[in-house]
Amino acid sequence: MVLKIEYILLVVFLILSLSMIGISPTSIPSSTVVNDEKEILFEEFSLVEVKERSLGQKLFAKEGIKYKTDLVFKEINLTDEQGNNIQASKGSYRDDTIAMENNISFRRYDGLTFVSEKLNYDIKSKLLESDRGFALDLNGSHIGGRNLIVHLNEKNISADRIEARIFFSD
């Protein structure tokens, strides 16, 4: 069986044409996900930290989208092992920090509450930080300001531009 020169030229022409338009076995897209592509979508889910002798933090969300580098939540509700609770419309988790925004409501186990539009929660250090305005209520007193920092382990709170109405009980 003899190959005709026309067939050989046709195969060479086909290979050259395909290589010119960029089709080669190495150009087929891989199955790895680019940073901005969704990997997993969760709906109406909860994450519970289980410790050796108790339950740790509990996170509930209406929706969670896992990307390569972070996890984005809608309608987040987070409670830690001390009973502190944070609720927000949006949140994203990356590197042990949850960045939340829109309609944030915080309630500490002793009754202290505040609302803000943006909040970062460092899970390891138990530090809450908001660079936006806030309104804080405790024992009938109302405090407003900016740049709120709450150390949950130390019961230490600081802020800038404070305006307050403080009521003392007898």
pLDDT score for 8: 73
CA distances from 27 to 5, 14, 81, 96 (A): 30, 17, 50, 36
Sign of CA dihedral 92, 96, 99, 103: positive
pLDDT score for 25: 44
pLDDT score for 165: 82
For the chain, domains (ranges, CATH) are: 40-165 (2.60.450.10)
Distance CA 43, CA 62 (A): 6
pLDDT score for 27: 40
Sheet of 71-79, strand order: 40-50, 55-66, 71-79, 85-94, 97-107, 113-122, 127-138, 141-151, 156-165
pLDDT score for 36: 65
Report, as ranges of residue numbers, the positions in the chain whose pLDDT lies below 50: 1, 24-34
pLDDT score for 100: 92
- For the record, the structure tokens of 139 come out as 């024992």
- For the record, the structure tokens of 133 come out as 């305005």
pLDDT score for 26: 45
pLDDT score for 170: 59
- For the record, the structure tokens of 144 come out as 């407003």
| Cα-Cα end-to-end distance for the chain | 110
pLDDT score for 99: 92
pLDDT digits (tens, 9 = 90+) for 44-54: 888 787 877 77
pLDDT score for 18: 65
Contact 97, 122 (CB under 8 A): yes
DSSP 89-122: EEEEEETTEEEEEEEEEEE-TTS-EEEEEEEEEE
